[in-house]
Amino acid sequence: MKKYSVLLLLLVFNFSLAQSINDYKYAIVPSKFNFLKETDQYRLNTLTKLFMEKYGFTTYLGTDVLPDELVSNNCNKIYVDVISSGSFLTTKLKIILKDCKNTILYTSSEGRSKVKEYKVAYNEALRMAFDNFSILKTHKFQLSEKSLEMIGERSSQEPSKTENPKTEEPKLDITFSEPLFAKPLSQPFTGNGFQLLTHNTNIPQYVMTVYKTSSPDCYIATEGNISGVLLRKLGNWYFEYYKENKLVSEQILIVNF
CATH number, domain with residue 61: 3.40.50
**What is the Cα–Cα distance from 93 to 91, expressed in whole angstroms?**
7
pLDDT confidence of residue 161:
47
* Most confident segment among 4-18, 43-57, 131-145: 43-57
pLDDT digit string (tens) for 101-139? 899 999 999 999 888 888 888 888 998 898 888 888 777
Q: How many CB atoms lie within 10 A of CB 46?
A: 20
Structural domain count of the chain: 2
In a domain, 147, yes or no: no
Residues 201, 122 share a domain: no
User: From CA 122, how far away is CA 33, in angstroms rounded?
Assistant: 12
Residues 203 and 111 in one domain: no
138 in the same domain as 25? yes
Residue 231 phi, psi (nearest 5) = -120, 145
Q: Which range has highest mean pLDDT (6-10, 217-221, 234-238)?
A: 217-221
Residue 194, domain member (yes or no): yes
Both ends of the chain: CA-CA distance in Å? 54
Does a structural domain hold residue 180?
A: yes
CA distances from 207 to 94, 110, 161, 197 (A): 28, 29, 48, 5
